[in-house]
Amino acid sequence: MIAAKRENIKMPNNFSYYSIREIYDQFTEYRKIDKSDITDQEYKILCEWLWYVPKNTVDRIKLDIEFILLSAKKSQVACYTPLKDVLNKKRGIIFISSILIAGMQSNLPRAKEEATKKFLHEVAHFELDHPSYESEAHKKQIEKEADELALKWFEQRSKMDPSKLV
Ligand SMILES: [Zn+2]
């Protein structure tokens, strides 16, 4: 299993992708007000990040990952999410802070790129099926693996469609 995944990382040319429009249409549940409280702009940012993720991983994300966007929307200063609703069905949660979203709202391409890579890093932990780390050495190793896959995804997608660069 691990060997197969390692192979995958070495062959980024085999990745296929959803268009940005297909991504927008697939995650619309995040716009329902009872599900989350994210703004249209925050939803757009989530979709822009997911655009970098290969199709088969996006399909797995839909089933197994719940994104919790800590929205900067002023109407909500805190919120309660019953984990039972989320974890009974899904394997993991990725929390996205308003700082990461702010990176995408910056005018600096470098800030957008860094925010995108941070998002992809968290998705890479899921893709590589990383457990919680057991030691400092193990932590170092899995962080490196997640960084490498995130970078690979970012570069591969940017190369295929440079006009869509963040
Ligand atoms: Zn990490």
Tens digit of pLDDT for each residue in 33-68? 555 667 888 899 999 999 999 999 999 999 999 888
Interval between CA 75 and ligand 1 midpoint (Å): 31
Mean pLDDT of 129-140: 93
When the pLDDT of each residue in the chain is averaged and rounded to a whole number, the result is 84
Interval between CA 117 and ligand 1 midpoint (Å): 11
Question: In this predicted structure, what is the pLDDT of residue 103?
Answer: 94
**Does pLDDT of 8 surpass 70?**
no
Mean pLDDT of 11-24: 80
- Alpha carbon distance 104, 47 (integer Å): 12
Q: Could you please report the per-residue DSSP string of the chain?
A: -HHHHHHHHH-GGG-----HHHHHHHSGGGGSTTT----HHHHHHHHHHHTTS-HHHHHHHHHHEEEEE----TT-S-----HHHHHTT-SEEEEE-HHHHHHHHSS-HHHHHHHHHHHHHHHHHHHTT-----SHHHHHHHHHHHHHHHHHHHHHHHHH-GGG--
Interval between CA 118 and ligand 1 midpoint (Å): 8
Question: In this predicted structure, what is the pLDDT of residue 84?
Answer: 79
Interval between CA 138 and ligand 1 midpoint (Å): 11
Interval between CA 129 and ligand 1 midpoint (Å): 12
Interval between CA 24 and ligand 1 midpoint (Å): 26
**Does pLDDT of 150 surpass 70?**
yes
Question: In this predicted structure, what is the pLDDT of residue 122?
Answer: 97
Question: In this predicted structure, what is the pLDDT of residue 11?
Answer: 47
Question: In this predicted structure, what is the pLDDT of residue 4?
Answer: 47
